[in-house]
Each structure stands twice: as C-alpha cells, then as structure tokens.
Amino acid sequence: MEKKRIYLSSPTMHGDEQRYVQEAFDTNWVAPLGPNVNAFEKEIAEYTHCGYAAALDSGTAAIHLSLKLLGAGQGDVVFVSDLTFSASCNPIRYENATPVFIDAEPDTWNMSPEALKRAFEKYPHPKAVLCVHLYGTPAKLDEIMAICEEHHVPLIEDAAESLGSTYKGRHTGTFGTYGIYSFNGNKIITTSGGGMFVSAREEAAKKVTFLATQARDPARHYQHSQIGYNYRMSNITAGIGRGQLMHLEEHKAKKKAIYEQYREAFADIPELTMNPLNPDGDANCWLSCMTIAEECKVTPDMIMDALAEENIETRPIWKPMHLQPVFAEYDFIPYNEDGSSVGEDIFDRGLCLPSDIKNTPEDMGLIIGIVRRFFR
C-alpha cells in the first residue's frame, strides 16, 4: 500500500473560492479582467493598507513592472537579496540591468544591512534595492529603509513569501516604493498562479495595469506608444484569490502553530536550530526551516532522504544566487568581512520542513519522529 503523501506546502481550498469562480462563469467574465480582479485588488489593498494594488499573473511580473517603473535598464545596478529564489532576480536581467547580490545576515536570514552599506560604498548609485522577506520572515526594514533613504534609492519589497507578515505592526510589502506578493500554488494563499503589485501611489498601480494589458493607448483603434506585456490576472484566478483571502489569517495561525511545534519538538537537540524570526515582526511562517550544526555528522540530505522514504516532501534551502551558474559573472557582497557567505552556510546546513496546514497530528508526529531519530 502506498504511503500517504505529506506535502511541503500545498493549496488548501475552503469552498468560498468556488462561489466567486462560479459567479465568473455565470456572468461569462472568463477573461483577464473583470469584477473579481477589481474586487481582489481592492480587498488586498484594504487588508495590507498598501494604498493601491494591481493584480498580475505572477509575482515575477510584479517585480518586472516595478523595475520598469523605476526605469532600470542597461548600465544600471540593482542590489538584490542573495538568499532567495531566482524569480527575485530574473526580472533585473529582463531589463538588461546588472544584479549585485547582497548576502544574508544570521538574525533573520534576510538582506544584511551591513553588507548593503558596503555595497553602496562600492556602487554609490544603484537604481534600486530589491529586498526579499525570506520564508515569510520580515527583514530588518528600519535599517534597510534608512540606508535607502540616505542614498535616495527606491526600495522594492519582494514579499512573495510574506503576505500576512508584519513588521512593527505594518504589513511587509508596504514599506518600499513598490511591493509585490505571490499567489503561486504553494504560497500561504493561492490563485493557482498569480501576483500583486502594490504601492501607496495610485498612478503607479494604474501604470502597471496599463503596461500589463499590452500598453494599449486610450484610442478607439488599437494604438500602442510603448511596449506592453500580457501580465494581467484572469477573472477566474482572481475569484480563487478572493475566496482564499477570507482565510489568510486562519492559514497564518496554522503555519505559526506548525513552526512552534517543530521548535518545541527539537528544543532539546542542540544540533538543530529553527529558522530565526525577527523579534520586531510577526512572521507568517510560510515555511518552517531548520539548520544542523556544522560539526554534526547528520546532513540535510540524510534527513530529506529519510523523509522521502516515507513519501514526505521537503526542500533544500534556496541556493544563493551568487552560486547559480546563470549569475556567476555578477558581484556578491558578503556579510562577513573575511568574504565568507552567511547565505551559503545556511544553504549547506539547512532544509525546509513540511509546512502544510493540512498536516494532521499524526503527520507531524511522524515527521518529528523521523528527524529526532538521527539525534538519539
């Protein structure tokens, strides 16, 4: 008999999604615009207090259009978090700009303010800083914002993994000039695929909507004065998002409970450390991660293999961008003065644990038991 599959982070549907999707079918709004899209934008704006939102087909598209709005292009440098998924960085190259990767810091695993300061010493005039809130944990926003403001450089917040997370009571994604969220299938809420651009400036959200709908000029005929993109979210997927958003706080509470259960279960194992949370923030704990002490004989691969044998899904920590072959030619600013990388160390010693909110007590007991047996 095949063992039950335990997922890393799979979609959780509630039924409210189907109601909005059915409305779209009943009214024949099966298109990349419509009432669900408009309402989802409004509801995200109200939930996050961001000001204005534009629904797109991915978080990557939202990053791309954020860079477009800032005029990033050939010869421009963009500082970007090194410990992240490649989708944070690929749009920089879409515009032929140059990424410079900023190392993580140990306290939150996010962009290091110290490394960011050194980056400005080497590259005084970057076009933007693109900071990721890794695994749902807010970055050190006060320090990063202060550095950006000192140098008059805009901040883009990649909050793809941190919808629902707050820093000092304010939602991630709303601190920078622009922010982005993702609704990919494994995120804390999903539209199956999709993203959101947010900004305090209405004209920015309108410009993104314009660019995302092929940049069609307001003329009776089809006229285009600039290059546009087919990035708009569909009315169907927006309906899923509206239903999901109703349960975001519920999802967040369950994700946090999973993190706490792991933390308590491994508290007596000195070789294991859970991913750190920012004490100035309230993380959504999208993925619970852990690192293994460097001197330990147990490796992340050993644990992931043992869990895989029981049909349990895990994931390595993101491989830092400066180690990726596609980005090998670009500069990297380390956290440590000796040139060693915090992000690389986390990658070498870490793994993402199953964080699916549908995990039963029996599922969690099985996962925890398998991990603990390595440290008897």
Radius of gyration of the chain (CA): 21
Taking alpha carbons only, the member of 47, 58, 30 closest to residue 239 is 30
Average pLDDT for residues 7-26, to the nearest whole number?
Answer: 97
* pLDDT at site 95: 98
Taking alpha carbons only, the member of 65, 51, 29, 62 closest to residue 239 is 29
Which stretches of the chain are DSSP H helices? 16-26, 35-48, 59-70, 90-94, 113-122, 141-150, 202-212, 235-245, 248-265, 300-309, 342-349, 361-372
Structural domains of the chain ordered from first start: 16-245 (3.40.640.10), 248-375 (3.90.1150.10)
Rounded to 5°, angle at Cα 54 from 133 and 28: 130
Cβ distance 312 to 365 under 8 Å? Answer: no
β-strand partners of 104: 111
C-alpha dihedral (243, 236, 67, 202), degrees to nearest 10: -70
User: What value does the mean pLDDT of the chain take?
Assistant: 97
Measured in whole angstroms, the distance separating CA 243 from the mean position of its chain's CA atoms is 20
Separation of alpha carbons 331 and 327, rounded Å = 9
* pLDDT at site 278: 98
Q: Which amino acid is at 329?
A: E
Q: pLDDT band for position 21 (50/70/90)? A: very high
Q: Which amino acid is at 326?
A: V
Taking alpha carbons only, the member of 344, 343, 346, 331 closest to residue 118 is 331
Separation of alpha carbons 60 and 277, rounded Å = 25
Taking alpha carbons only, the member of 193, 127, 128, 129 closest to residue 160 is 193
Cβ distance 208 to 202 under 8 Å? Answer: no
Token pair in block for residue 226: 């600039």
Separation of alpha carbons 93 and 329, rounded Å = 12
Which letter does DSSP use for residue 325 in this model? G
* pLDDT at site 32: 85
Separation of alpha carbons 73 and 50, rounded Å = 27
- In the predicted model, is pLDDT for residue 1 greater than 80? no
Each residue of 234-243: pLDDT tens digit?
Answer: 999 999 999 9
Each residue of 121-180: pLDDT tens digit?
Answer: 999 999 999 999 999 999 999 999 999 999 999 999 999 999 999 999 999 999 999 999
β-strand partners of 131: 157
Separation of alpha carbons 376 and 297, rounded Å = 13
* pLDDT at site 2: 85
Separation of alpha carbons 318 and 320, rounded Å = 6
Question: CB-hemisphere CA count at 13 Å for 339?
Answer: 1
Separation of alpha carbons 178 and 186, rounded Å = 23
* pLDDT at site 22: 97
Strands, sheet with 289-292, edge to edge from the N-terminal-most edge strand: 272-274, 289-292, 350-352, 315-316
β-strand partners of 109: none
Q: Is 272 helix (H, G, I), strand (E, B) or coil?
A: strand
Each residue of 261-293: pLDDT tens digit?
Answer: 999 999 999 999 999 999 999 999 999 999 999
Separation of alpha carbons 56 and 280, rounded Å = 30
